[in-house]
Amino acid sequence: MIRKILVPVRGDGKGDNVLAHAAAIAHRHTSHVVVVHCRPRPQDLMPYGIYIPDFLRKQLVEQSYKLADQEEAGLRDELRTLALKLNLDDSGNKIGKVASVEFVEEAGRQVDVIKRRGRLADVIAVAKPDRDRNLGANTLKAALFHSGRPVLMCPPRATPPESLSAKVTIAWNGSAEAAQALSRCKSILRGADTIWALSNGTDAGPGTSVDDLISYLKLHDIKATVEKFSASEKAGRELLRVSAGLGADMMIMGAYGDSHERETIFGGNSQAVVDTATMPVLLNH
């Protein structure tokens, strides 16, 4: 089961949407959502390589603490109000009985906080990166490459999702990344009402075909149907199009069989999904 969902936030305006996605899964799986505010340390805010007199350094440190306290208080109030609207219990007395939430503050760089705390979460929920504003790419990368956990990428939307992980597609090509996604996301699959296995029928060899996948899932009492599609160079976009056409509320996929840097520069199916997804995607590496 999905018992713990980590939601890292830092006051960039994207936390509300991510929390709404996490809440939708939490209600379905009776999960506990941990919202961790990554608070910058004073030393991380100091200019690098520039001498600063002790008196000025002390002033900067004091000011940074005051600003961080104000940001923390405002963010906590905002997220608590949203959590109540999302029917998440924050009493601490009903964890494991109803969808619940707690708020944690930790000093340090967000990427480092995600690496540590993410390793003991069932899912890490992050905002879809905004490449135009250069926001979120490092957060997604830290969660995906350094936690060893599934990462729910949440695209922006005007209203909270009513349901999440009820109708699921799983992108299958027989790769190690796809197998990793399958292994890590069995709880999501077991809790889903409808599952489609997506395949273009060209990448999987004997023993790893989509029909083999269906047989394997059946051994785990998970029922899925095959949905084949035709795509070669634009498989990532086609996976999203087919998933949307089926009415899926989430897609599960292995990510970055090639390196993240190579796909970012030269393009690739994983990067196409990250750049163009308008539905939640549970990424695994």
DSSP for 49-94 reads: T----HHHHHHHHHHHHHHHHHHHHHHHHHHHHHHHHTT-B-SSS-
- Do residues 93 and 187 both lie within one domain? no
Contacts of 86 (CB under 8 A, 6+ apart): 19, 20, 23, 160
What gap in Å lies between CA 264 and CA 268, rounded to an integer? Answer: 8
Mean pLDDT of the 130-138 span = 81
The span from the first CA to the last CA of the chain, in angstroms, equals 20
- Do residues 123 and 209 both lie within one domain? no
Buried b (16+ CB within 10 A) or exposed e, 91-127: eeeebeebbbbbbeeeeeebeebbbebbeebbbbbbb
Mean pLDDT of the 191-199 span = 96
pLDDT at 197 > cutoff 80: yes
- Do residues 190 and 144 both lie within one domain? no
| 139, HSE (Cβ side, Cα atoms, 13 Å) | 27
SS3 175: coil
Residue 36 sits in a domain whose CATH number is 3.40.50.620
Q: What does the pLDDT read at residue 62?
A: 66
- Do residues 138 and 172 both lie within one domain? no
Q: What does the pLDDT read at residue 73?
A: 66
- Do residues 120 and 244 both lie within one domain? no
pLDDT at 48 > cutoff 80: no
Name the band, by pLDDT with cuts 50, 70 and 90, for residue 79: confident
Is 47 a domain residue? yes
What gap in Å lies between CA 216 and CA 210, rounded to an integer? Answer: 10
What gap in Å lies between CA 130 and CA 274, rounded to an integer? Answer: 10
- Do residues 178 and 208 both lie within one domain? yes
The whole domain housing 107 covers 4-154
Is 161 a domain residue? no
Is 159 a domain residue? no
* 144 class by beta-carbon count within 10 Å (0-12 exposed, 13-18 middle, 19+ buried): buried
- Do residues 131 and 173 both lie within one domain? no
pLDDT at 4 > cutoff 80: yes
Give one word for 57, left, alpha or beta, with left for phi > 0 and alpha for psi -120 to 50.
alpha
- Do residues 118 and 17 both lie within one domain? yes
pLDDT at 35 > cutoff 70: yes
| 187, HSE (Cβ side, Cα atoms, 13 Å) | 17
Show which of 154, 183, 201 is a domain's final residue.
154
Query: Residue 188: what residue type?
Result: I
Neighbours of 52 (CB within 10 A): 12
Neighbours of 271 (CB within 10 A): 20
Q: What does the pLDDT read at residue 10?
A: 79
Query: Residue 132: what residue type?
Result: D
**CA-closest candidate to residue 19, choices 133, 152, 147:** 152
Provide the mean pLDDT of the chain: 87
- Do residues 139 and 194 both lie within one domain? no
**CA-closest candidate to residue 187, choices 273, 113, 284, 111:** 284
Q: What is the pLDDT of residues 56-74, one digit of tens each?
A: 667 666 666 666 666 666 6
pLDDT at 143 > cutoff 70: yes
- Structural domain count, the chain: 2
- Do residues 203 and 241 both lie within one domain? yes
